[in-house]
Amino acid sequence: MEAGETGTRTYLGVPLYRPRVAFFEFSSCEGCQLQILNNESTLLDFLSLVDVVNFREAMTGGSDDYEIAFVEGSITRDDEVKRLKKIRKKAKTLVALGSCACFGGVNQLKNRFKDINKAKKEVYGRHPIDSEPVRTLEDIVKVDLKIYGCPVKKEEVEKIALHIAIGKSIVFPKYPVCMECKRNENICLFELGEPCLGPVTRAGCDSWCPNSRAGCWGCRGPADEPNMEQMKKIMEEYGFSEETIMDRLECFGGFSSLMGKGNTK
């Protein structure tokens, strides 16, 4: 990318359209938004692609005149439902940012409790708290685009922003993380005694965790046509219990449609 004579950013000589974007958060750790801000080396290039008009973590004030809404977090309260619908009404494009927005994330683990009120009493005592079963953004409103991960991969967000700016289609990998892991010449973590969901998890993170010798927890959800039976067989062959498999598959909620959504407690 380069600047034209008028200062307008161009890509291969074509002026870039800078969409007005806003960032919002619901029930989450806000780590996906921090990923955007932590990208010091390319932050200015990223900001040159978009016109950020609302971003609580990065600016004071803000405008409701936006075209694209990046929304992080899951929905756990009635007031969040109302706020999300308001955001959806204003946005031409709504992007689910991260595992919590896409699948419910770690938050959705509380949906396993049969009695949510008992759980709230155990955690908060006599202090009243509004906390309902976790829902994804898509459970409430139409989602136009999903960016997976916990947290999201900042390079992937930048690539998607560039594609939006130049009007290029956005295509996510259909193959599993294992493909990226092999390409990065990593030693298979199963050989190192570490459980890993790389064989069934959607790629696109450049095998982020395995690169640091940490097994994949499936935060990006399932790859296309994941072979779950083979995944279970691999885990068993390397001596991992069914409980270990379930812990990983349940963690972020991305595999719930493949496992059933029943309570376990």
Position 152: which residue type? V
Provide the Cα torsion 158, 159, 165, 169; round to 10°: -150
Q: Which DSSP category does 2 fall into? A: E
Boundaries of every domain in the chain: 2-166, 177-254
**pLDDT for the residue 153:** 92
Per-residue pLDDT of the chain (265 residues; tens, 9 = 90+): 555 444 566 766 777 788 999 999 999 999 999 999 887 888 888 888 899 999 999 999 889 999 999 999 999 999 999 999 999 999 999 999 999 999 999 999 999 888 888 888 888 888 878 889 999 999 999 999 999 999 999 889 988 888 887 788 888 899 999 999 999 999 999 999 999 999 999 999 999 999 999 999 999 999 999 999 999 999 999 999 989 989 999 999 999 988 754 333 3
Q: Is 259 helix (H, G, I), strand (E, B) or coil?
A: helix
Hey, what are 250's tokens?
């349940």
Tokens, residue 233: 């067989």
**Cβ atoms within 10 Å of 134's Cβ, excluding its own:** 22
Q: What CATH number should be reported for the domain whose range is 2-166?
A: 3.40.50.700
Asked whether the beta carbons of 228 and 258 are under 8 A apart, the reply is: yes
Q: Residue 103 and residue 207: Cα distance in Å, rounded? A: 20
**What amino acid occupies position 127?**
H
CA angle 11/12/18 to nearest 5° reads 20
**pTM (whole model) above 0.85:** yes
Per the structure block, which two tokens stand in for 8? 């307008």
Q: What confidence score (pLDDT) does residue 162 get?
A: 82
Alpha helix locations (H) across the chain? 31-37, 43-49, 78-90, 99-103, 116-124, 154-166, 177-183, 208-211, 228-237, 242-251, 256-259
φ and ψ at 85, to 5 degrees? Answer: -65, -35
Contacts of 124 (CB under 8 A, 6+ apart): none
Q: CA dist 17 to 13, 157, 165, Å?
A: 13, 17, 5
